[in-house]
Amino acid sequence: MNKKRRVLLLKGLVWLLCLAPGVWLVWRGFTDRLGANAIEEVLHRLGDTSLVILLVTLSITPIRRLTGWNDLAPLRRPLGLFAFFYLTTHFLWYAVVDEGLAFEFIVEDVIERPYILAGFTAWLMLIPLAITSTKGWIRRLKKNWQKLHRLVYVATGLGVLHFYWQVKADTYWPLVATTVLVALMLLRIRQARRPSQRSLAD
């Protein structure tokens, strides 16, 4: 199979896997399977999904450099945009459905609850990254594009912090997310120092 076909197949798989959690939530909503607190359940599942897709997006480059499997590179954009899509839905669900678009409460939450501030800052940081993810912007920004897109690590770190702060007792999953993020960052730093692995990058 030629490269174009392989990448198309992988992209199709990404679309299927990324759409599945959303379709699953909608199906649960229509069949009344969201439990007693449906609003909170949707908010939480959208948050989980965003974070998982963000971490998968960050794992693409380290895996590609470790294995030399360059077909993975074109998957970063759809994965990143799916993470941003779920995150925006997570934010809108909170603002519109949970808070009923009551701006005074939303502003109060952002100011007074550190975990909301962390999540909100992360979401704001990801907006310019989503906008500049096109080929045109990559060309226009040249080296600055890479510098700008390193912000994704800060945003994901804030997302993990947001997750950690809002759980009441069970910190298992926030700790798993922290471990994965730290491992990915260490791997990136190590690979950046090794020219032999860097040469596999696009």
Chain residues binding ligand HEM by CB under 6 A are: 40, 43-44, 47-48, 50-51, 87, 90-91, 94, 116, 119-120, 122-123, 155, 159, 162-163, 166
Cβ proximity to ligand HEM: between 60 and 129 the closer is 129
CB of 62 to ligand HEM, least distance (A): 19
Task: Kindly state the smallest distance separating residue 76's Cβ from ligand HEM, in Å.
Answer: 17
Least distance from C-beta 71 to ligand HEM, angstroms? Answer: 27
Nearest to ligand HEM of 75, 116 (CB atom): 116
In the complex with ligand HEM, which residue's Cβ is closer, 40 or 108? 40
123 within 8 A of 152, measured Cβ to Cβ: no
d(CA 82, CA 75): 11
Given a contact cutoff of 8 angstroms between Cβ atoms, the answer to whether 1 and 7 are in contact is: no
162 near 54, Cβ under 8 Å?
Answer: no
Determine how many CB atoms are found less than 10 A away from the CB of residue 120.
19
Given the complex with ligand HEM, which of 17 and 192 has the nearer CB atom? 17
In the complex, least distance from residue 116 CB atom to ligand HEM, rounded to whole angstroms: 5
Cβ pair 22, 49 in contact under 8 A: yes
Q: What angle do CA 52, 160, 23 make, to 5 degrees?
A: 30
For the CB of residue 184, give the shortest distance to ligand HEM in the complex, in Å: 15
C-beta closer to ligand HEM: residue 50 or 57: 50
Q: Is the dihedral of CA 137, 199, 58, 56 positive or negative?
A: positive
